[in-house]
Every structure is written in C-alpha cells, then in structure tokens.
Amino acid sequence: MNALETYLISLVRAQGPISVATYMAEALGNEKHGYYMKKDPFGQQGDFTTAPEISQMFGEIIGLWQATSWLNMGRPDKIHLIELGPGRGTLMQDALRAMKIIPGLLAATRIHLVEMSPILRKMQQKSLGDYPAPEWHSRIGDILRHARGEPILVIANEFFDALPVRQFQKTDNGWHERLVSLDGRDRLALRLAPMPAPEQVIPGALQRAAPGSIVEICHAGEHIMAEIAEHIGQFGGAALIIDYGYGQQDCGDSLQAVKNHKYTDILQDPGDADLTAHVNFQRLREIATTYNTRTYGPTGQGSFLNAMGIRQRADALGKEASASQREDIRTALHRLTHEDEMGRLFKVMAVTESGLPDISGFGS
Ligand code: SAH
C-alpha cells in the first residue's frame, strides 16, 4: 500500500466516502503524492505519450492556427497566449517556432502556462529558454483577472481529460453518486451513495438512460470552459481544445488508469498511475455558446491536422531528412492522423470571438 492510499483510507475513515472527483483530484494533484506532482510521466520511459511528444509537426500546426487567429483578429498589439497543462513544454516550443515567422506576433505575445506540477514547470522553463519568459499560474482565472480588456489565445492538449469527474449511476430508484468508500478489509472500494442525487445534476438528454448506466460530470472542466468563453466573448480571442472524448453526450464509465503504457485498476496505487476521463465536448460547446462566441467542432484530430496542412509540412520536413528520418516522419503522421490511431478518438474543438471569419481546420 502506498502513502497516498494510506492517507485516503484514513480520510474516508474519518469523514466518510469521497466522490470519484475528490479521489481523482487527490490521485493526480495531491501536493506530496499526486501523480503529476512527483514525476515526468511522458514518453517511452513514462506512462503515456502525447501528440506533441510524437512529432514537432503537431505543435507547429497549433502555432500556425494561433497565428492565423491573431491575423484574423486584426493583429492586436497585445495578446495573452495561454497553455493549459503544458506537460514538458514541447507543444509550446514547437508552436512558438512556427509563430516566430509572422512579423510582429511574438512581440505582441505574453506567454502564460497553467501548470500545477513543480517538476513539469522546471521542464517547461528549460524547453522555452529561447523565447520571452513565460509566467506560471495555478489557475486560468488568475490570468484572466489581469487580462481584462485584452484578447487571449488558449491551447489545451490533453488537459481537460485530467480534470476530476463525478460519476452517477442509474438504479431502479434514480441516479446515485458513485463514491470511493472502504470494503470489509478497509481497502478503497467503489460504492453507490445510499440516497439518490437530485435529477437536475444529470444532463436532460441522459436522464432516461437504462438502469446500470453511468454518467460523468466534470465540474472543473465546465467552469474553466465558461471562464474562457466569457473572456473571449467580452474581450476577444480564440481557444483550441484537443482531447479524447465524446462528440455526442453519452453514458459510460470512461475513467481509466494507465501505468507503464498499460491499463490498471483506478483504485490501485493512487498517485502512481495516470487517471483520465473522456471529455464531454458537447457539454463544453453548449457552455461556450451561452457567451458571445462562435464554436467549431468537435472534429477528429486527423481531419483537423489534414485541413491545416500537416501533409505538406511532413513533405517539407522530409525533403531535408535522411531516409530513416523520413520513415519516422511518415510513422508520426500516421499516428497523429489515422482513424485507427489518434485521428478519430482525439477531437478538436474551437471557440472564437463572434466577429471572426471562419477559422481554419474545421472544413466549411
Ligand atoms: N499538454 C501536454 C501534457 C498533457 S498531461 C502534452 O500534450 O504533452 C496533463 C498536463 O496538465 C500536465 O502538465 C499536468 O501537470 C497538467 N495538469 C493536470 N491537471 C491540472 C490542473 N488541475 N491544474 C493545472 N495543471 C494541471
């Protein structure tokens, strides 16, 4: 049993069962023992690999998208470029290299990174050494409060899937929250709350789901989406959200734990495995549209990257590469865009100020 499990067991003993969201927040973000707080989880040696770690083309395309948005906005002379959950800083580094080509853009840009992990903050600082110094924050709200009146460009890749979700299960007498409790041997175990939850908690379209169905609600993600959309609607800007998740709202238990590139039990070794849940894009879009914004997607990552010209970028890189590097580029392109790889499961959604022309990447 690890230290976080011991702590959680004593917490449940003292206070009663906790929500799946509280469990997830502790497992990922506990100051001492949380998954992201104590190590670098990425790459071959780590637990999982993300798109920017597969190829520089990914971040470059995002940079191009952000640059196009800035041009469409009429080149504002000050803009806040915000990345949520920047990991090793690879995406931002690749994006800035692409953005540098546009005259005036970097001079107008203030870089902000929203990151909770001290270890990853250090890695980000190293990756971005060649660019104007970023500012780090624990929450996006802290940036937006100081950026009132000024436009923002936001990027979030595999950030929303790390935000805690609550789970509710339908039974014959209504929806009950799934809680993390203790079993007969005093080990962590899932169990339904004895009393049903108020029906309003469950999205209307799902309220009639069959008994046994599970619904996930991500309050943190909804709140962050609202903050972004409110700012963009009022002061301008654009946001790009990339993650794996549902295009249509649906039932299902999508919470999963991954360790060493393999799935494990979500209650096993808290803090030593990554925990994620599918992102409910329909819900995020509904929230964004309640503000003065335009929304796009979600569309498949493959379709977005292709529309943004990733093939042309791969060809250009291939021209200056050795045969083995060309093979690597081809493999990376396949992983990022193919339907059986990240092309369809991963989705891209955008929110822009309402006056902007059609944004690139989403077809017509
Ligand atoms: N975008 C990166 C990393 C994705 S992993 C990539 O694509 O490679 C998730 C990232 O979000 C990590 O940097 C993690 O530390 C950060 N993170 C997760 N939850 C967070 C929270 N609640 N607040 C701030 N950062 C968070």
How does pLDDT run across 308-352, given as a tens digit for each residue? 999 999 999 999 999 999 999 999 999 999 999 999 999 999 999
How far apart CA 250 and CA 283 sit, in angstroms, is 10
Expressed in angstroms and rounded, the spacing between residue 69 Cα and the centre of ligand 1 is 24
Collapsed DSSP state (helix, strand, coil) of residue 363: coil
DSSP state of 73: T
For residue 38, what pLDDT is reported? 87
Say which amino acid occupies 129: G
**Quick check: pTM over 0.85?**
yes
Say which amino acid occupies 189: A
Question: Under a CB-based contact definition with an 8 Å cutoff, are residues 231 and 82 in contact?
Answer: no
Cβ of 87 below 6 Å from ligand 1? yes
Expressed in angstroms and rounded, the spacing between residue 87 Cα and the centre of ligand 1 is 6
For residue 150, what pLDDT is reported? 98
Expressed in angstroms and rounded, the spacing between residue 183 Cα and the centre of ligand 1 is 32
Cβ of 213 below 6 Å from ligand 1? no
From residue 227, give the alpha-carbon distance in Å to each of 104, 140, 143.
28, 8, 11
Token code pair at residue 273:
């495995």
Q: How many other β-carbons are positioned within 10 Å of the β-carbon of residue 97?
A: 15
How far apart CA 344 and CA 184 sit, in angstroms, is 42
How far apart CA 191 and CA 11 sit, in angstroms, is 16
Question: Under a CB-based contact definition with an 8 Å cutoff, are residues 132 and 106 in contact?
Answer: yes
Which residues on neighbouring strands pair with residue 237, listed in sequence order? 152
Q: How many other β-carbons are positioned within 10 Å of the β-carbon of residue 182?
A: 16
For residue 2, what pLDDT is reported? 93
How far apart CA 299 and CA 363 sit, in angstroms, is 9
How far apart CA 150 and CA 79 sit, in angstroms, is 7
Residue 53 Cα: closest atom of ligand 1? 8
Q: Which of 22, 115, 161, 228 to mutate to test the pocket of ligand 1 (most atoms within 8 A of CB)?
A: 115
For residue 46, what pLDDT is reported? 79
Regions of the chain where pLDDT drops below 50: none
Expressed in angstroms and rounded, the spacing between residue 83 Cα and the centre of ligand 1 is 9
Cβ of 158 below 6 Å from ligand 1? yes
For residue 364, what pLDDT is reported? 59
Residue nearest to atom 6 of ligand 1 (CA): 87
Expressed in angstroms and rounded, the spacing between residue 292 Cα and the centre of ligand 1 is 27
Expressed in angstroms and rounded, the spacing between residue 226 Cα and the centre of ligand 1 is 19
How far apart CA 216 and CA 214 sit, in angstroms, is 7
Residue nearest to atom 2 of ligand 1 (CA): 87
Residue nearest to atom 14 of ligand 1 (CA): 85
For residue 260, what pLDDT is reported? 86
Q: How many other β-carbons are positioned within 10 Å of the β-carbon of residue 121?
A: 15
Q: Which of 38, 116, 138, 160 to mutate to test the pocket of ligand 1 (most atoms within 8 A of CB)?
A: 116
